[in-house]
C-alpha cells in the first residue's frame, strides 16, 4: 500500500519539518509497512526525510535555465528529491497545463529515474456522459505516457471529488480501478476527498493500492491513522 499526502500551497518550511519529524517518528515506532510519500510546497523540499519519500508537486522539465518562477532538476537534486507528482488536476485545470506539456515533463523525469505519481481524472460532466466517454477521457490523459515505466504510480482522482467532500461510491471506485488495471500494471491510488473516516474502506477495495490525500493530509495524526489503515490492508 502507498499513502501519499499532497500539501498543495499549504504549510511552511517550518511546519513541514515539524510534521515530517512527527510522522517519521510514528512510522518508525510502529514499524509500519506502507510506503509513505509527502509532497510539500517547493520551499519545504529540504525538510527531514528518512523512510518518508518526499517529492515535488511540480517541476520544469530541464536541468536549469531561463524558466522564471519554475523549479528545475538542479534545484531538486540539491535536496536529494527523486519523486514527483505530474498531471495533478489543479495543474491541468487551474494552471492550464496541456497533455503535451505534461507528457514532456513525464518523459524528462522518467529519464532522470524519478518515482512519478501520475494523476488522471475526469470532470463531473464527463462522468455524467457514461463509462465509454469517461474511459476515453482518461485514455487521452495517458497519451505520451510510458505506462511500462518501472517507477510509475498512477493516481486516479476525479476532478469533482478533489477538495469537495464528494467521492464516487465504493463500487464505482472499484469498477474504475479494475478497468484501469486492465491497461496499467502499476500501483493505482485513489484520490479525491479521502478522509480519516473513508480511507480504510477505500483502501480495502479491489485494485486500490493506496490513496493520494490532499486536505486531510495536513493533520499529521489523521494522516498517520490512514497509514495504519493501509497497514491493515498490507497484512
- For position 55 contacting ligand PEP by CB under 6 A, the verdict is no
Rounded CA-CA distance 78/100 in Å is 27
- For position 141 contacting ligand PEP by CB under 6 A, the verdict is no
Rounded CA-CA distance 38/40 in Å is 6
The answer to whether 93 is a known catalytic residue is: no
Residue range at the interface with ligand PEP (CB under 6 A); choices 27-35, 124-132, 157-165, 181-189: 157-165
Rounded CA-CA distance 31/27 in Å is 5
Give, for 211, the enclosing helix (H) or strand (E): strand 210-213
Residue range at the interface with ligand PEP (CB under 6 A); choices 52-60, 71-79, 178-186, 189-197: 189-197
* Catalytically annotated residue among 122, 157, 174, 177: 157
Taking the complex as a whole, how short is the minimal distance between the CB of residue 31 and ligand PEP, in angstroms? 27
Give, for 228, the enclosing helix (H) or strand (E): helix 220-234
The answer to whether 157 is a known catalytic residue is: yes
Taking the complex as a whole, how short is the minimal distance between the CB of residue 215 and ligand PEP, in angstroms? 3
Residues 102 and 92: beta-carbon distance below 8 Å: yes
Taking the complex as a whole, how short is the minimal distance between the CB of residue 205 and ligand PEP, in angstroms? 16
Contacting ligand PEP (CB under 6 A), which of 1, 199, 213, 230?
A: 213
Q: Which is nearer to ligand PEP, 141 or 193 (CB)?
A: 193
Residues contacting 213, CB < 8 A, separation 6+: 3, 4, 5, 6, 191, 194, 199, 223, 226
* Integer CA distances (angstroms), 180 to 50, 115, 163, 212, in order: 32, 20, 23, 16
Place of cell 517541476: 59
- For position 192 contacting ligand PEP by CB under 6 A, the verdict is yes
Positions annotated as catalytic residues are 88, 157
User: Where along the sequence are the contacts to ligand PEP (CB under 6 A)?
Assistant: 6, 157, 162-163, 191-194, 212-216
Amino acid at each position: 500500500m502507498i499513502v501519499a499526502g499532497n500539501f498543495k500551497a499549504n504549510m511552511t518550511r517550518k511546519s513541514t519539518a515539524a510534521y515530517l519529524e512527527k510522522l517519521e517518528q510514528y512510522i518508525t515506532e510502529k514499524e509500519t509497512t506502507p510506503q509513505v510519500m509527502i509532497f510539500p510546497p517547493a520551499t519545504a523540499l529540504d525538510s527531514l526525510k528518512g523512510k518518508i519519500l518526499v517529492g515535488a508537486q511540480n517541476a520544469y522539465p530541464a536541468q536549469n535555465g531561463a524558466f522564471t518562477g519554475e523549479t528545475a532538476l538542479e534545484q531538486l537534486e540539491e535536496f536529494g528529491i527523486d519523486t514527483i507528482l505530474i498531471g495533478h488536476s489543479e495543474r491541468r485545470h487551474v494552471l492550464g497545463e496541456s497533455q503535451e506539456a505534461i507528457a514532456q515533463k513525464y518523459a524528462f523525469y522518467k529519464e532522470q529515474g524519478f518515482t512519478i505519481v501520475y494523476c488522471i481524472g475526469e470532470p463531473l460532466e464527463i462522468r455524467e456522459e457514461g463509462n465509454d466517454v469517461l474511459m476515453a477521457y482518461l485514455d487521452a490523459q495517458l497519451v505520451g505516457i510510458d505506462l511500462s515505466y518501472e517507477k510509475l504510480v498512477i493516481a486516479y482522482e476525479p476532478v469533482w471529488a478533489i477538495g469537495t467532500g464528494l467521492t464516487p461510491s465504493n463500487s464505482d471506485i472499484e469498477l474504475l480501478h479494475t478497468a484501469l488495471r486492465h491497461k496499467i500494471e502499476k500501483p493505482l491510488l485513489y484520490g479525491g476527498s479521502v478522509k480519516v473516516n473513508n480511507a480504510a474502506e477505500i483502501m480495502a477495495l479491489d485494485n486500490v493500492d493506496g490513496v493520494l490525500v490532499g486536505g486531510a493530509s495536513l493533520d499529521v495524526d489523521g494522516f498517520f491513522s490512514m497509514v495504519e489503515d493501509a497497514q491493515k490492508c498490507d497484512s
